[in-house]
Amino acid sequence: MTSAGTSGGPGHGVGPVDTVLLDVDGTLVDSTYLHALAWQRSFGTHDIVVPWWRVHRAVGMGGDQLVGHLTDDAVEADLGDRLRDEWERQYRRLVDEVNPFAGAADAVKALLDKGFTVALASSGQQEFTDAALKLLRLNKSAFAAVTSADDSESSKPDPGILATALRRSGGKAAVVVGDSVWDAEAAAAMDAPCIGVRTGGFSAAELRDAGCVEVIDSIDELPAVLQRWQAVD
């Protein structure tokens, strides 16, 4: 299937890239809605009601920012850490229901075969990234860098985790690939192009409005997009 309303590429002001910074949840594995469920259950333990659509739209933002974003500063100050701890417990119960996206592992291998430096730029918990890699049957050693929540003081949409992944990978010019508007905002903050993937539930219009230069329906389309970029270069 062709990408849903693609826009951008080198012909639209994007220079050559040598490094691909991949998000994990919602991009390589189908976990976005399970994260939303875990957050809903966490809020429910404290009788906090947040509409489902708002919870879903916040997934991809780091937990250090999500609680305040969905509630207010008072809830963050009083309950933030407990809500995050409860989310972690709830998601751990759901993690066995996560599935890899079709073609995700092959897409990563194709990028490596094409000579790209590939890094996982996740601000999630390391144990959940490890679980995703196991599902994908990919070794951590295949990646030039793998980040987690412990690697930056602030999570997406702050660009810190992306900058850390790029620095550790040894790459010079990166493209960010993610499924949420938070990935796009983080990429824009470090002046990197972003390719949006619709598998996190955001529409093509939302991803483009957040700054994505291209939008694809699934991760298996990514190698062809980047090959086209290289051809233009």
Q: What are the domain boundaries of the chain?
A: 10-30+99-232, 32-97
What was the pLDDT predicted at 10? Answer: 45
What was the pLDDT predicted at 149? Answer: 84
Q: Would you state the structure tokens that stand for residue 211, as one six-digit string?
A: 């700054």
The topology under which CATH files domain 32-97 is: DNA polymerase; domain 1 (1.10.150)
**Does residue 119 or residue 3 have the better pLDDT?**
119
Give the up-direction half-sphere exposure of residue 13: CA atoms within 13 A in the CB hemisphere. 9
| CA dihedral of residues 114, 158, 68, 47 (deg, nearest 10) | 20
The C-alpha atoms of residue 85 and residue 171 are separated, in whole angstroms, by: 34
CA 8 to chain centre: 20
**Does residue 7 or residue 55 have the better pLDDT?**
55
Question: Residue range 128-146: average pLDDT?
Answer: 96
| CA dihedral of residues 114, 112, 100, 225 (deg, nearest 10) | -30
The answer on pLDDT for 62 being more than 80 is yes
CATH 1.20.1440.120 corresponds to the domain 10-30+99-232? no
The answer on pLDDT for 71 being more than 90 is yes
Contacts of 132 (CB under 8 A, 6+ apart): 24, 25, 28, 29, 31, 98, 100
Question: Residue range 209-217: average pLDDT?
Answer: 98
Q: Would you state the structure tokens that stand for residue 120, as one six-digit string?
A: 């996982």
Q: Give the tens place of pLDDT for each residue, 80-136.
A: 999 999 999 999 999 999 999 999 999 999 999 999 999 999 988 899 999 999 999
User: Lowest mean pLDDT: which of 17-31, 203-217, 219-233?
Assistant: 219-233
What was the pLDDT predicted at 123? Answer: 85
Q: Give the tens place of pLDDT for each residue, 156-208.
A: 899 999 999 999 999 999 999 999 999 999 999 999 999 999 999 999 999 99
The pTM of this model reads 0.92
CB 27 within 8 A of CB 177: yes
CB count, 10 Å around CB of 74?
A: 9
**Does residue 199 or residue 3 have the better pLDDT?**
199
Question: Residue range 31-49: average pLDDT?
Answer: 98
Tell which residue, 24, 216, 80, has the closest CA to residue 228: 216
Q: Give the tens place of pLDDT for each residue, 93-109.
A: 999 999 999 999 999 99
The answer on pLDDT for 2 being more than 60 is no
Question: Residue range 60-88: average pLDDT?
Answer: 96
Residue located via tokens 């890899």: 100
Its sign, for the CA torsion 199, 57, 137, 192, is positive
What was the pLDDT predicted at 16? Answer: 85
Contacts of 52 (CB under 8 A, 6+ apart): 36, 40
Q: Give the tens place of pLDDT for each residue, 7-17.
A: 444 444 567 89
**Burial readout 26-52 (b: 16 or more C-beta within 10 A, e: otherwise):** bbbbbbbbbbbbbbbbbbeeeeeebee
